[in-house]
Amino acid sequence: RFNMKQQRSYLFLAPGFEEIEALATVDVLRRAGMEVCTVAVNNGSISVKGAHGVSVEADILDSDADFSDAEWLICPGGMPGATNLAESPVVTNALKEQFSRGGKIAAICASPAIVLEPLGILAGKSATCYPGMEGYIKSADTVNTPVVAHDSLITGNGPASTIGFALAIVRNSMGEDVAKETGTAMLFYPDTSKFYF
């Protein structure tokens, strides 16, 4: 059903990542037919332990990744996962380059505030983040809603919003029909008028 050449997207996994936000996003995107690769940001170890002790084996190491043709770069939240992403030169350089070429970026929970804001990626836009972290965001209008979707920037507020966050990425890349088909097959029926900004 897809007649386009699928670009690869990348989701970063650093120690302390929020497991639901990372794994459910990968799951939903793959269900929709998108190619998404998980990247270990973990000092050369492919196995990364999440915030709640769940260890995940990433697809590739950050040192082996080439983000030059990425469709999406995706940052799950979690603490200290978001801080570890923000402190990774590989991640921050990839995000800055993606942003400078108008590429697509998605972040959820703590990551909009901790990872994207310091890089100037949120400037002049509206965004959401984990409640209580809005104070870190000075350059954007923070919105109290589960998901905020722009053409090349999608933010989400936390674990319970992950499927909606992921479906917003699917909607952007694959279209409304694929997003609805994917969500319906998962028994996910959001009232989109309330869910998205």
Q: Which are the catalytic amino acids?
A: 109
Round to whole Å and give the CA distance between 68 and 98: 8
In the DSSP assignment, the letter for residue 172 is: H
The answer to whether the beta carbons of residues 68 and 96 sit under 8 Å apart is no
Q: At what angle do helices 176-185 and 162-174 cross, to 10 degrees?
A: 140
Q: At what angle do helices 162-174 and 19-31 cross, to 10 degrees?
A: 30
Secondary structure element (H or E) that encloses residue 163, with its range: helix 162-174
Round to whole Å and give the CA distance between 110 and 79: 8
The answer to whether the beta carbons of residues 162 and 108 sit under 8 Å apart is yes
Question: Token pair for residue 166?
Answer: 């992921």
